[in-house]
Amino acid sequence: MSSQKESIWRSNSFRVGTLTYTRSALLTVMFWMLWADLCLQLMEQLPSIIPLQLKWMGASDALIGFIKDSLQAILTVIFVPVIGVMSDRHRGPMGRRRPFLLWSTIPVCLFLFLLGFADPVARLLHATLSPVFGWVSLPAIGITLIGIAAAGFFFFNNYVIQVYQYLIADVVPKEVMGSFVGLYRAVGALAGFVFNRWIFGSVEGHVGRVYAGCALLYAAGFFLLVWRVKEGEYPPPEAVERLGPVAFVRRYARDCFTNIFYLKIFSASLFYWAATVPLLTFVVFFATSPQSIHATSLGMTLDAFGKVKAWGMVPAFIVFLVSGPIIDRCHPLRVMLVGIIGSVAAFFIGFLWIDTPERFLIWMLVSSGIGALYSLAYLAMFPVLLPREKYGQFFSANQLFFSVGLVVAPFLCGQLLDFVKDYRVLFLWSGVCASISAAFTLSVFHHWKQLGGDAGYVPPMPGDKGGLKRISPAST
């Protein structure tokens, strides 16, 4: 098996669905996919500014956690199942994925512009409304405006993020999925380095310019993607009767949430994101809060924190570049186990050890490399384990499942931080959640072995509640 996978790139013919590529054609498709991802990942850095904007307006940690993370999770819970099924069933001249990317791009950019210029717009609204509604404060208007703009951005960006992932599975052959996902994540790390090294530190005085520049670059990247990357032919969607909302929810739940194997995958995702999302939201305050207010904070400047985050992208970039072929030769689940166990150790070490900016930098360098290994294997896992014919539906089910947890996790973490007044507790929170994720990941691995493992795994289909009907005879 290993020697076969080592020779994959020597082939000059690659297939995925009805698409057939020469090696040069596949590399061209991967280039345009990665170019769009670079623009997307730069744009995806922008929500990291939202907590700062809210803090500048006097919002509490609990409110910051709700607007930045829980609000997005609520919208995901409501709409991502619809997005997955809509995209899987859509047929048109542009395919089943690209139309959704095309029509979502413009509203995403408009809401990013509104976020970027929320402060001057809030001041204009306050000046206009104060003669009549004198009791409405500028911070209240500003926080409300940011909340509305964030909700609009999260709604349309859900289409972009979800459908781009579906498109990967439709245009990239499984044989090179690990290599592509490695490059995909390396591009994301590069975007994160550029943003945090040269942009994040100066965001306070140039918020509008930062939002506008990243939004326009993102629009250019995705318009080029839609133009240059073609989808293959799809069989007609299965005939189903028109369903009302209740019947739709029942069928969706029956298909996606009655199989214990998939439920374990979804649970591992839920606790991993419950570990990482609150940390990503609040760690800026652990690093930059004055020590006179939070004794265990580090008292760093915003610029210094941005540079630490940027340097943390370097080991992630290296891991992404070198680990893709390893995942192709091994299996994403094996690499995920290594990554999640390492992440658990890193979170607890952070809680016990970080007390200076220098130690924070060392921790960031190590934990970013470990997290990169996990996230790379995590993304490569889905095209390998989920059923291709309903890939968007099952991928969205994973998003839905962990988003239910993210509706409450960041808010609860923010409430905890408001209560203990100690941002160091973030690392303890993340360590506990990651430990639960590790337990589920180990269970997924053992279940996958029962389903045939390397030799005979076939994705269980709806109705196979135990997930054990498809075991290959060769594996028993």
Instruction: Please check the confidence at residue 301 and state whether its pLDDT lies above 60.
Output: yes
Read off the pLDDT of residues 250-284 as tens digits, 9 standing for 90 and up: 888 888 999 999 999 999 999 999 999 999 999 99
Highest mean pLDDT among 78-92, 196-210, 346-360: 346-360
Cα angle vertex 67, ends 66, 72, to 5°? 90
- Whole-number Å distance between alpha carbons of 350 and 440: 23
- Whole-number Å distance between alpha carbons of 171 and 405: 31
Q: pLDDT class for 471, splitting at 50, 70, 90?
A: very low
User: Taking the alpha carbons of 162, 383, 407, 44 in that order, is the dihedral positive or negative?
Assistant: negative
The alpha carbon torsion through 46, 48, 51, 54 (nearest 10 deg) reads: -10
Structure tokens belonging to residue 304 = 């210094």
Q: What pLDDT score was predicted for residue 461?
A: 76
Contact 388, 72 (CB under 8 A): no
User: Taking the alpha carbons of 8, 9, 14, 15 in that order, is the dihedral positive or negative?
Assistant: positive
Per-position b or e across 283-311, b if 16+ CB within 10 A of its CB: bbbbbbbeeeebeebbbbebebbbbbbbb
Instruction: Please check the confidence at residue 474 and state whether its pLDDT lies above 60.
Output: no
Distance from CA of residue 463 to its chain's centroid?
29
Distance from CA of residue 429 to its chain's centroid?
20
Instruction: Please check the confidence at residue 470 and state whether its pLDDT lies above 50.
Output: no
5 vs 345, residue with greater confidence = 345
Contact 448, 385 (CB under 8 A): yes
Instruction: Please check the confidence at residue 4 and state whether its pLDDT lies above 80.
Output: no
Instruction: Please check the confidence at residue 457 and state whether its pLDDT lies above 50.
Output: yes
Read off the pLDDT of residues 360-384 as tens digits, 9 standing for 90 and up: 999 999 999 999 999 989 988 998 8
- Whole-number Å distance between alpha carbons of 19 and 171: 7
Closest among 206, 210, 202, 196 to 283, alpha carbons compared: 196
| DSSP reduced 3-state for 423 | coil
How far from 162 is each of 367, 383, 398, 400, CA to CA, in Å? 26, 13, 11, 11
Q: What pLDDT score was predicted for residue 2?
A: 43
Strand pairing partners for 16? 19
Upper half-sphere CA count for residue 348 (Cβ side, 13 Å) = 10
Instruction: Please check the confidence at residue 7 and state whether its pLDDT lies above 60.
Output: no
Instruction: Please check the confidence at residue 475 and state whether its pLDDT lies above 90.
Output: no
How far from 402 is each of 339, 448, 464, 467, CA to CA, in Å? 19, 21, 22, 21
Read off the pLDDT of residues 404-418 as tens digits, 9 standing for 90 and up: 888 889 999 999 998
Q: What pLDDT score was predicted for residue 1?
A: 42
For the beta carbon of residue 120, count every other beta carbon within 10 angstroms: 11
Please name each of the domains of the chain with its CATH number.
Answer: 18-235+242-475 (1.20.1250.20)
Contact 476, 451 (CB under 8 A): no
How large is the average pLDDT for residues 471-476?
A: 36
- Whole-number Å distance between alpha carbons of 39 and 414: 31
Instruction: Please check the confidence at residue 239 and state whether its pLDDT lies above 80.
Output: no
Contact 328, 177 (CB under 8 A): yes
How far from 112 is each of 28, 116, 189, 218, CA to CA, in Å? 30, 6, 21, 11
The alpha carbon torsion through 309, 311, 315, 321 (nearest 10 deg) reads: 90
- Whole-number Å distance between alpha carbons of 196 and 183: 20
How large is the average pLDDT for residues 153-163?
A: 94
- Whole-number Å distance between alpha carbons of 446 and 437: 15
Q: How many helices (H) and strands (E) does the chain have?
A: 18, 2
The alpha carbon torsion through 191, 194, 195, 199 (nearest 10 deg) reads: -160
Q: What pLDDT score was predicted for residue 476?
A: 29
How are beta strands 14-16 and 19-21 bridged, if at all?
A: antiparallel
How large is the average pLDDT for residues 350-358?
A: 94
